[in-house]
Amino acid sequence: PALLRQIEDQAATDDFQVPKESRNMVNGDTLTALPRALRGERLRKSFALLAALHLASDQKEAGRVALAGIAALVPADRWTIFLTTETGGAVSLTPLTCRRTDAAANLPFDGELQLELFDETHSTIAEASKATHEAAGRIEAIRKSESGRRLIALPLVNADRVLGVLEGIRERAGAQNFSRTEVSLLSSLAIPIAAALANSVRIADAERLSLTDDLTKLQNARYLRQFLVNEIKRARRYHSKVAALFLDLDDFKRINDLHGHLVGSHALMEMASVILPSVRDTDCVVRYGGDEFVVILPETGVDKAWRVADRIRAKIEQHRFSGGRRLDFSLSASFGIAVFPDHALSPQQLIACADTAMYEAKAAGKNCIRIISGDAASKNPDPSESLAVPSLFQRIPDEKLIS
């Protein structure tokens, strides 16, 4: 708020300077590119929009923030952002988010949009206008009338690529065309809006990659921790169970020694394709490290967990692996099972118990399943419910295959 008051005070003169406090949050070049005719409240809302765009965590949120800010600056009956998709040389438009508005709303500076702003965002969106389709292939705004409606369509360009189109419609009787001042303001704001949409995609991709195993494309141990913490919290709340299957491939070092690590890596990729069809969409399959995998089964007790483990074990045993080189070899796996709250009371202890049971299966001759015994479970103390990543979940080796 103090920063915004400073902006408003400076806006009363022709000597507007970007405050130093804002330069880490909003690109100064973007701010100074705003039309110099902006003064007072309009300038404040423009700056608030730019700051809020910077904080958007995903593409949908960036679109909603953009439309909430635009609606507060330029009156229209409907604002819509369409994303462009190019297939075979043809450009199609897909609605990202739409906002109908009867009155301008204030966009909070800190980007924490109030719930009423989202309540005005509608999922039912009309098809893109002819002007919008035309704007998808241009770099400047299009302003025209269609069927008695006043329209403006601005391409959202980032890195010389049209990411989408911002469409505004005034459809009430006697509605005025969008003025040159409004077009100038919208054209300036289209630049940071496009940047926010592009950045949100990059952020989402980076987050997804940080939670995904590069080799198998399964989830990784970091994702496992998040998933397991949430599922155990839910199980505590609803008095349900969560089962963990810990499986380790038997004698996998033999494959690496006979055929090389590239074949071993491909075998692990094949293993992912064997496990996934055997579980539900709500289950979590993780490459824990090397040739170890973990399967988390929400709302699952011991008996059902055993059946799932045996189904996976049988499919692994029956599958003929090629190693990506038209080879023909078989693999097997040893399974350990532990269930919350029967054997463990925390995420860390649940994984530790399943791991211990897996080693019991190895000792019993491999290619079999063991449930953690009561005595073994009692030897795995319940760690504190710390949000720090436990050392157990940090066993994520490089792509070197271990057995």
Active site residue 291: yes
> Has residue 185 been placed in a domain?
yes
Q: In terms of domains, do 284 and 389 share one?
A: yes
> Has residue 401 been placed in a domain?
no
375 pLDDT band (50/70/90 cuts)?
A: low
Are 266 and 324 within 8 A, CB to CB? yes
Q: Please tell me the distance from the alpha carbon of residue 163 to that of residue 84, in angstroms, as a whole number.
A: 6
What percentage of the chain has pLDDT greater than the value 90? Answer: 38
**Predicted local distance difference test score (pLDDT) of residue 281:** 93
**Domain end among 183, 209, 235:** 209
**Predicted local distance difference test score (pLDDT) of residue 137:** 67
> Has residue 257 been placed in a domain?
yes
Residue predicted with more confidence, 156 or 115: 156
Residue predicted with more confidence, 29 or 349: 349
> Has residue 183 been placed in a domain?
yes
pLDDT at 235 over 50: yes
207 pLDDT band (50/70/90 cuts)?
A: confident
Q: Please tell me the distance from the alpha carbon of residue 78 to that of residue 153, in angstroms, as a whole number.
A: 12
Q: In terms of domains, do 193 and 323 share one?
A: no
**Cβ-proximal residues to 28 (8 Å cutoff; 6+ apart), any chain:** 18, 22
Q: In terms of domains, do 356 and 307 share one?
A: yes
Q: In terms of domains, do 175 and 239 share one?
A: no
**Domain end among 209, 241, 269:** 209
Are 357 and 338 within 8 A, CB to CB? yes
CATH code at 291? 3.30.70.270
Q: Please tell me the distance from the alpha carbon of residue 238 to that of residue 399, in angstroms, as a whole number.
A: 39
Q: In terms of domains, do 170 and 275 share one?
A: no
Q: In terms of domains, do 182 and 252 share one?
A: no
The pair of three-digit structure tokens given for residue 181, joined into one six-digit string:
């001042």
Q: In terms of domains, do 201 and 231 share one?
A: no
Q: In what order do the strands lie in the sheet with 78-87?
A: 121-122, 90-100, 78-87, 161-170, 149-158, 142-146
Q: Please tell me the distance from the alpha carbon of residue 44 to that of residue 106, in angstroms, as a whole number.
A: 10
Q: Please tell me the distance from the alpha carbon of residue 321 to that of residue 328, in angstroms, as a whole number.
A: 6
Are 269 and 214 within 8 A, CB to CB? no
Q: In terms of domains, do 256 and 200 share one?
A: no
Q: In terms of domains, do 362 and 266 share one?
A: yes
Which residue out of 213, 248, 283, 291 is catalytically annotated? 291
Q: In terms of domains, do 195 and 243 share one?
A: no
**Predicted local distance difference test score (pLDDT) of residue 220:** 93
Domain around 278: 221-394
Residue predicted with more confidence, 211 or 102: 211
pLDDT at 191 over 70: yes
pLDDT at 90 over 80: no
- Centre a 10 Å sphere on the Cβ of residue 2 and count the other Cβ atoms it contains: 8
For 330-365, what is each residue's pLDDT tens digit? 999 999 999 999 999 999 999 999 999 999 999 999
> Has residue 399 been placed in a domain?
no
Q: In terms of domains, do 281 and 355 share one?
A: yes
For 150-162, what is each residue's pLDDT tens digit? 989 888 988 878 8
**Predicted local distance difference test score (pLDDT) of residue 101:** 62
How many separate domains does the chain show? 2
Average pLDDT of span 209-237:
92
Average pLDDT of span 297-310:
97
116 pLDDT band (50/70/90 cuts)?
A: very low
**Predicted local distance difference test score (pLDDT) of residue 18:** 43
> Has residue 214 been placed in a domain?
no
**Domain end among 182, 209, 236:** 209
Q: Please tell me the distance from the alpha carbon of residue 43 to that of residue 5, in angstroms, as a whole number.
A: 11
Average pLDDT of span 58-80:
88
223 pLDDT band (50/70/90 cuts)?
A: very high
Residue predicted with more confidence, 166 or 173: 166
Q: Please tell me the distance from the alpha carbon of residue 20 to that of residue 330, in angstroms, as a whole number.
A: 64
CATH code at 86? 3.30.450.40
388 pLDDT band (50/70/90 cuts)?
A: very low
> Has residue 25 been placed in a domain?
yes
Out of 66-70, 102-106, 236-240, 324-328, the most confident range is 236-240
380 pLDDT band (50/70/90 cuts)?
A: low
Q: In terms of domains, do 283 and 187 share one?
A: no
For 252-278, what is each residue's pLDDT tens digit? 999 999 999 999 999 999 999 999 999
Q: Please tell me the distance from the alpha carbon of residue 329 to that of residue 324, in angstroms, as a whole number.
A: 11
117 pLDDT band (50/70/90 cuts)?
A: very low
> Has residue 402 been placed in a domain?
no
